Amino acid sequence: MENLLQLLLLVAYLAIALISIVMAIYAIAVSFLGRETFRSVLRMQKRREELKRRIKELTEKLDEETSVERIREEIRNSEGEESELKNRLRWLSVRGAVFFPCVFFSASLMIAAYDIYFYNVNPSEYSAALILPMVFFLALGFSGLGKTLIAIQEAALRIPLPKFEVSFPSRLSIEEGKSKEKRNVSFVLSNIGEDIAEDVEVFINFPPKFTVHENARYLVFKQGPETYYPSHIAAIYKTSLLNIDRHQHYPVLVTFPEETGSIAIPIVVFERKIGVSKHKLTFQVV
């Protein structure tokens, strides 16, 4: 029985200690809250814009039954991402980082105090089952505190970086072209990340069946066997800076092949901080 009393005292002291460090942890959490809130709002706005674009693209490209299922999948993914962002903010806020852990630790402390009193007054009738509510609330407090610490770690490790999206001027990833047609085709590079992109090189790789005409605005280079897309002809653009939420157009003068059908155009983007990112657009040659 003496061991049981020591356990009750240990839980009580532990609950008091944890309540005292909650505010210290919140001081760390709140230092990330403003930045994470700003980032999360931006991400949700961008994700909703992307969802609208994807729905438009799927509606135009696919039959009705397939489009409905794919659109539902896109909506589920978008809702899942928003839920994750909101959950992270919740555990960095005063409600998640302070209120919930303090309530649970305080409940555990009060139950421990009652158990200690009951044990001292009537030790013969004390049941070990009374320990369970105390341990339950202590575990809930630990869970909330752990989620706050994980949210702090994720916020601290998330370094703002540029992120690229490639599309046609229509904001879609597919565009039509006529067989043997010669015209300027524009590609759009968007920085949808959280930092300025620096020293950007864009390689727009056309299969050999395309004719890529030279122009002073870009370099034309046939890719060798050591490159990502051997035998492709690359139109190469260089951009020193691309700000956040900015779009850069890269027109290329090409002659479409005689062959009709879907033809993929791989695009490789090199950037100083993130290195290589690969993208793909599609021409529907008719």
DSSP of the chain: -HHHHHHHHHHHHHHHHHHHHHHHHHHHHHHHHHHHHHHHHHHHHHHHHHHHHHHHHHHHHS-HHHHHHHHHHHHHHHHHHHHHHHHHHHHHSHIIIIIHHHHHHHHHHHHHHHHHHHHHH-GGG--GGGHHHHHHHHHHHHHHHHHHHHHHHHHHH------EEEE-TTSSSEEEE-TT-EEEEEEEEEE-SSS-EEEEEEEEEEPTTSEEPPBTTBEEEE--TTSSSTT-EEEEEEEEEE-TT-EEEEEEEEE--SS-EEEEEEEEEEETTTEEEEEEEEEEE-
Distance of alpha carbon 74 from alpha carbon 62, whole angstroms: 14
Can you give the pLDDT at residue 1?
Answer: 56
For residue 64, pLDDT beyond 70: no
For residue 89, pLDDT beyond 90: no
Distance of alpha carbon 264 from alpha carbon 87, whole angstroms: 38
Structure confidence at residue 67 as a pLDDT band (50, 70, 90) = low
Higher pLDDT, 84 or 273: 273
Least confident of 77-81, 158-162, 181-185, 193-197: 77-81
**What residues pair up with 186 in beta bridges, in sequence order?**
251
The residue-averaged pLDDT of 44-48 equals 78
The residue-averaged pLDDT of 15-25 equals 89
Report the relative pairing of strands 174-177 and 275-285 from DSSP bridges.
parallel
For residue 60, pLDDT beyond 70: no
- CB–CB of 26/91 below 8 Å? no
Higher pLDDT, 216 or 8: 216
- Token pair, residue 171, equals 């904001």
Higher pLDDT, 114 or 106: 106
Can you give the pLDDT at residue 65?
Answer: 53
Distance of alpha carbon 278 from alpha carbon 208, whole angstroms: 19
- CB–CB of 26/152 below 8 Å? no
Distance of alpha carbon 117 from alpha carbon 130, whole angstroms: 12
Distance of alpha carbon 202 from alpha carbon 225, whole angstroms: 19
Mean pLDDT, the chain, whole residue set: 86
CATH topology of domain 164-285: Immunoglobulin-like (2.60.40)
Can you give the pLDDT at residue 63?
Answer: 57
What residue spans define the domains of the chain?
2-157, 164-285
For residue 128, pLDDT beyond 70: no
Higher pLDDT, 70 or 140: 140
For residue 180, pLDDT beyond 60: yes
- Token pair, residue 238, equals 């260089």
Least confident of 123-132, 146-155, 236-245: 123-132
In angstroms, how far apart are the furthest CA atoms of the chain?
Answer: 97
- CB–CB of 155/35 below 8 Å? yes
The answer to whether the pTM exceeds 0.75 is no
Structure confidence at residue 244 as a pLDDT band (50, 70, 90) = confident
Structure confidence at residue 115 as a pLDDT band (50, 70, 90) = confident
Higher pLDDT, 73 or 199: 199
Distance of alpha carbon 97 from alpha carbon 28, whole angstroms: 10
